[in-house]
Amino acid sequence: MNNFIIFFVFLFCQFKIISYICNVKLKQQRIMAYEKKTIAQHNMDVKTLHEMYVTIMRYIKGDSSSVRIGCNGVTYITERLRQYLTWGVTSVRYVCATDGCYGIEFKVSGMLHRGRVRVYYNVGSDYFDVELLRTRKEELVWGCEGIDFEQLHNILHQHIERTDDEEV
């Protein structure tokens, strides 16, 4: 019975990872279509904004080499991508701050935080600002400024999911 449960969990994880890989392109197209109104309101260049989105997401969840399929059919993922998948990220979209910084916003349902996360990129300082907000209210739960790109994933993971995982 235990082997059946382990096998079922293994198949479920394989399905989640493969469906995640297949839906990345589709999600990026949805984001582009969903945010055309915001882009037009702020006179933003679509290509630049999309490059910023790809860059922020690369710092958060890893690059394209995060998922590898071995010769025996086993899917390998990095620890950074595994941690990102535990956040339950949905509804990724572009945002613009009042001070002119652009970034992304997404909903999470982690163990420590359930709500929205905003990540802004400061072009002048080359650092990131992070805000964790409640879902229905514009109430700031936690915020931090001046986060380096190497620290961005670890800080988000500490405040969204848990602190006992290894740092990546």
Q: Residue 63: what pLDDT? A: 78
Q: Which helix (H) or strand (E) covers residue 147, if one does? A: strand 140-147
Q: Residue 107: what pLDDT? A: 94
Which residues face 107 on adjacent strands?
A: 90, 116
The pLDDT of 20-43, averaged and rounded, is 50
Tell me how far CA of residue 46 lies from CA of 16, 53, 150, in angstroms: 30, 10, 26
Residue-level length of the chain:
168
Break the chain into its structural domains and give their ranges. Answer: 2-160
Q: Which of 18-32, 52-66, 141-155 has the lowest mean pLDDT?
A: 18-32
d(CA 96, CA 12): 37
The pLDDT of 139-146, averaged and rounded, is 91
Arithmetic mean of pLDDT over the chain: 76
- In the predicted structure, residue 14 carries a pLDDT above the cut 60: no
Quick one: what percent of the chain has pLDDT higher than 70?
70
Q: Residue 144: what pLDDT? A: 92
Q: What's the pTM?
A: 0.70
pLDDT digits (tens, 9 = 90+) for 49-108: 788 888 899 999 887 777 777 777 777 888 888 889 889 998 888 887 777 778 899 999
List the structure tokens of 17: 């990872």
